Amino acid sequence: MKKLRWLTIIIGVLCVACNKGYDRMLENREYEDTTGVTGRQPKILFLVVDGARGESVRNAQATHLQMLGDNAIYSWNSLSDTLNLNATAWADLLTGVRKEKHGVVKSDFSDNRLSQYPVFFKYIKARMPAFRIAAYSASDSLGKMLITDADVNRTFSNDDDATELAIIDELKVDTAGLIFGQFSQVATAGKTYGYDVSVPEYKAAIQRVDDYVGNIMNALKQRKNYAHENWLVIVTSGNGGPHELKPEDDDGTILSNPKINTFTIFYSPRYMPNFIDRPYTGNRYTGKSVRLYGKTAATAVYADINEGKEDLNLGKTNQITIALKIRKNKTVYGDYSYTYPNIIGNNLSNDWWKNTGWSMSLETNAWGVHYGQNGAGFNMVTGANISDGKWHDLTAVFLNRDNKRFIRLFTDGNFNTEQEITSYGNFDNGSPVTLGWVPANVVDDNRWLNANVTEIRFWRAALPDSVIKAYVCAEELPSSHPYRDYLIGYWPCRDGFGGVFKDQSEYRHDFVIHGAHQWDDFNDLMCPSTATNLAQLVPQPVDVARQVLNWLQIAADTKWQMDGRVWVTSYASL
């Protein structure tokens, strides 16, 4: 009976709950059904504006192109191939691989490998045979020499007006799937008058093409089935054109090459804006410094520390970090290749290989540290290439580990190499610590230094890798540096006057400057990014093919060996 009574109570409670309703039910409101979005047909409009420098397009008041940026992944600093050749640019855009693969490096397309690396239209047709592809090129050579696997392929003898009308007519075709269009007049104006927005004819040509883009976009949105279609619009230039930049606009990197400065817009009405700005290219480093150079004692400009040099001894087991900033200048042969000139060290012998001492020095296009002891031999450990005329930060760390001694080299905070030096013993020899010329550097014209050196730092400690990297690109040593108390010498070498490089550590061992020196102004980049790294941070022509295939949900086969990447952003709606 007791069990029956509890069962009756439970049933009653459940019935009350049924009558009451669910507290967690969704409230009554209007919801948008977005499931149909996934059924929209993906389509592509792909427009190429030859010779349009990205920075000029940005400054040309190109209204329609600017408006696309509200729903686009876009950049005014994308980069094309360094050949600055139309044929190469077109091949990059339409094959998705670089010239090293497709082989288009001549205007006549001779000796190409397009059979192995075809226009990506072929890949679309292989997966979707019924997908309509139409190509309209102002340039006859583009349509006749490169375009393949298109249902329509027409050229217009550099008549951009006719190209625009043909594209608009194609947009009226219900089955249009991928529409390609190429315009020539911006490149023609640039070649005739100059490739900069300050040139009226060049600006007018950009604005004219911008009008084309506006007309074409209006035609696209007027398509009968537009609401059921999913359009990706790509507008880009395959290359820029030559133009002399103002000194303040030239950072010396690949980004300051007007010939390869382009613009890229990937537009979809569903995209949130994603502006790809000009990448960081390094810290701006300014001040006054002394150029260290010279072949003989009578003509050389160098500096040394004689009094108190013992405080800078490396000894046999001292843990020491030596760092400095250097800008190599060209040799008398017009290059940056040097044969072991001393940057800083105590090895003054004419026969390094039989001498005790150490020397941070230049080695061909790189740098390194010579070290040795008479009787134990001499050796060298080599760092990275620094032959670009830019400021670089070099660090050598002498440390003890597991009862052994090692030297580790870093260039711009990046670890280069490590070498055991235990058997070489003590590097002290009683010679002054010398910056620049030493008697050993008189063998040939590449054996003497020609460089500016600043921010010399000696620590009585082996700095960790993380600390080296964190502070490597600072203009000067901050008071907050975690190893500031371990300094046994700090010479900014940017005093701007006088005959010494003052030591700002508590040791006060100044470098005395010898020779007819002068303090020269400098305003340069420090710790610049490499050209390869910079190119990866902005869109490139080879990216377009991958972007198109991704939009059409065609997975790129590894056999195609495509070089590009896919750029992504958030969606405003789904």
Give the bridge partners for 267, in sequence order. Answer: 72, 233
Same-domain pairing of 124 and 170 = yes
| Buried-exposed string 57-74: b where 16+ CB fall within 10 A, e elsewhere | bbebebebbeebbebbbb
DSSP 8-state secondary structure symbol assigned to residue 530: P
Determine the average pLDDT of the residues in 520-537. 76
Q: What is the mean pLDDT of the chain?
A: 88
Residue 240, domain member (yes or no) = yes
Confidence of residue 349 (pLDDT cuts 50, 70, 90): low
Do residues 528 and 388 touch, judged by C-beta distance below 8 A? yes
Do residues 237 and 52 touch, judged by C-beta distance below 8 A? yes
Residue 574, domain member (yes or no) = no
The pLDDT of residue 35:
31
d(CA 9, CA 248): 86
SS3 of 437-462: the string is CCCCCCCCCCCCCEEEEEEEEEECCC
Query: Measured in whole angstroms, how far is the alpha carbon of residue 295 from the centre of its chain?
Result: 37
Q: Write out pLDDT tens, residues 162-171.
A: 999 999 999 9
Q: Write out pLDDT tens, residues 210-261.
A: 999 999 999 999 999 999 999 999 999 999 999 998 877 777 788 889 999 9
Do residues 425 and 317 touch, judged by C-beta distance below 8 A? no
Q: Tally Cβ neighbours within 10 Å of residue 387.
A: 17
The pLDDT of residue 438:
85
One-character DSSP codes across 239-301: -----PPPGGG--SSGGG-GGGEEEEEEE-TTBPPEE-PPPP--EEEEEEEEEEE-SSTTT-B
- Residues 6 or more apart whose CB falls under 8 angstroms from that of 486 comprise 459, 460, 461
Determine the average pLDDT of the residues in 305-329. 94
Same-domain pairing of 194 and 333 = no
Give the bridge partners for 469, in sequence order. Answer: none
The residue type at 305: I
The tokens describing 408, both together, are 């580790």
Same-domain pairing of 166 and 239 = yes
Same-domain pairing of 324 and 421 = yes
- Residues 6 or more apart whose CB falls under 8 angstroms from that of 298 comprise none
Same-domain pairing of 479 and 337 = yes
Q: Tell me how many helices (H) and strands (E) the chain has.
A: 13, 24
How does strand 72-79 pair with strand 274-275?
A: parallel
Residue 537, domain member (yes or no) = no
Nearest Cα to 463, choosing from 408, 518, 515?
408
d(CA 106, CA 111): 8
Same-domain pairing of 236 and 367 = no
Same-domain pairing of 312 and 242 = no
Confidence of residue 17 (pLDDT cuts 50, 70, 90): very low
Residue 558, domain member (yes or no) = no
pTM: 0.65
The residue type at 537: L
Give the bridge partners for 328, in sequence order. Answer: 451
Do residues 65 and 235 touch, judged by C-beta distance below 8 A? yes
The residue with tokens 């400021």 is: 391
d(CA 454, CA 519): 12
Same-domain pairing of 521 and 434 = yes
Residue 542, domain member (yes or no) = no
Residue 325, domain member (yes or no) = yes
Same-domain pairing of 226 and 350 = no
- Residues 6 or more apart whose CB falls under 8 angstroms from that of 550 comprise 556, 566
> Per the structure, how many domains does the chain have?
2
Determine what percent of the chain is predicted with pLDDT higher than 90: 71
Determine what percent of the chain is predicted with pLDDT higher than 70: 89
* Percent composition of the chain: helix, strand, coil (DSSP 3-state, to 5): 30, 30, 45
The pLDDT of residue 529:
63
Please provide residue 521's backbone torsions phi and psi, each rounded to the nearest 5 degrees.
-70, 145
| CATH number for position 476 | 2.60.120.200
Residue 16, domain member (yes or no) = no
The tokens describing 353, both together, are 């290989």
Determine the average pLDDT of the residues in 286-307. 91
Give the bridge partners for 459, in sequence order. Answer: 321, 487
Determine the average pLDDT of the residues in 27-43. 52
More confident residue, 488 or 535: 488
Per DSSP, the three-state class of 221 is helix
The pLDDT of residue 31:
33
Do residues 406 and 396 touch, judged by C-beta distance below 8 A? no
504, 525, 546 — which closes off a domain?
A: 525
Same-domain pairing of 462 and 363 = yes
The pLDDT of residue 339:
79
How does strand 404-411 pair with strand 414-420?
A: antiparallel
The tokens describing 312, both together, are 């800078």
Do residues 291 and 329 touch, judged by C-beta distance below 8 A? yes
Q: Of the given ranges (93-102, 290-299, 410-419, 524-533), which has the lowest mean pLDDT? A: 524-533
One-character DSSP codes across 21-70: --TTSPPS------GGGGGSEEEEEEEEETT--HHHHHHTT-HHHHHHGG
- Residues 6 or more apart whose CB falls under 8 angstroms from that of 79 comprise 254, 255, 260, 261, 262, 534, 535, 538, 539, 540
The pLDDT of residue 390:
84
Between the two ends of the chain, the Cα-to-Cα distance in Å is 60
d(CA 132, CA 143): 17
Same-domain pairing of 207 and 303 = no
Residue 132, domain member (yes or no) = yes
Q: How far is CA 379 from CA 34, 342, 396, 421, in A?
A: 70, 15, 15, 9
Q: Write out pLDDT tens, residues 400-424.
A: 999 999 999 999 999 999 999 999 8
505, 525, 545 — which closes off a domain?
A: 525
| CATH number for position 63 | 3.40.720.10
The pLDDT of residue 465:
96
One-character DSSP codes across 289-358: EEEEE-SSTTT-BEEEE-TTGGGG--TTT--EEEEEEEEEPP-TTSS--EEEEEEEES---S-GGG--EE
Residue span of the structural domain in which 352 resides? 284-525
